Amino acid sequence: MTQQKRPTIGVVGALFERKGAAPISGIGRTYLEAIEAGGGIPLLIHLTDDQAVLDTHYRHCDGLLFCGGGDIAPKHYGHPPHPLLGPVEELRDEVELTLARRAVADHKPVLAICRGIQLINVALGGTLYQDISDELPGTLDHRASSKSGDRAYLAHTLELDSASWLAEQLGTTTIAVNTLHHQALRDVAPGLRVVGCAPDGIIEAVEGTGDTFIVGVQCHPEELWRSAETRWARLFTGFIAHVAA
């Protein structure tokens, strides 16, 4: 990619509360470093209700990355709140849902990680399990990496469809993943297809079926590509290469 312009990838930020001070707008630098290592230039899109600002950010992006974070308000997929629903960020929901739908309509490539895979599913009309352990008893502990204290802890495998872009890109149909989530895809949205599941059947990877390139994973590959499972680096290089093509 040295002979061509490095694509700009919009990365939607989050708000981090601070005691006695204004919140910080930002995102974990592991996402930004993964985009840079993959050949892209990350552009942080801060949360704002100023549509003109968002429009300017969006126009400068060749692709979008939706990252991990808190729960999505269930009103966005027509369900009442579950008692174990975590904190929601209304502004982040609104900004990301708007950008996701716009990107799909404009055929702008999308990479979605953790909350991101849930976000793109909701944006396109899908629904979520609001708490896996309560709604699907007997499944794996999908917070195992969080509880271990090591975000890169490889807790289970991801089984991929051999015909998927992900399997081709990663060079395997079985790959180890970390797991740091308590929600999961329930009804998969039109325009998405399931390409990977955990051993317990929880949906953990999707790809787009239409003209827009979409790939979503439930794990956190930005925590894995350096050492824990280096094949995940191919997700970022492959995504950036597709954006640049």
Contact 159, 197 (CB under 8 A): yes
**Alpha-helical segments (H) within 38-186:** 51-59, 90-106, 115-123, 132-135, 144-148, 165-170
Which of these is catalytic: 96, 204, 222, 223?
222
Give the residue among 232, 213, 216, 9 at the shortest CA–CA distance from 128: 216
Which of these is catalytic: 61, 67, 96, 114?
114
Does the annotation mark 220 as catalytic?
A: yes
Which of these is catalytic: 142, 156, 182, 220?
220
Contact 158, 124 (CB under 8 A): no
Rounded Cα distance, 106 and 110, in Å: 11
CB atoms near residue 228 (< 10 Å): 18
- CA neighbours closer than 13 Å in the CB half-sphere of residue 244: 19
Does the annotation mark 182 as catalytic?
A: no
Catalytic machinery residues: 114, 220, 222
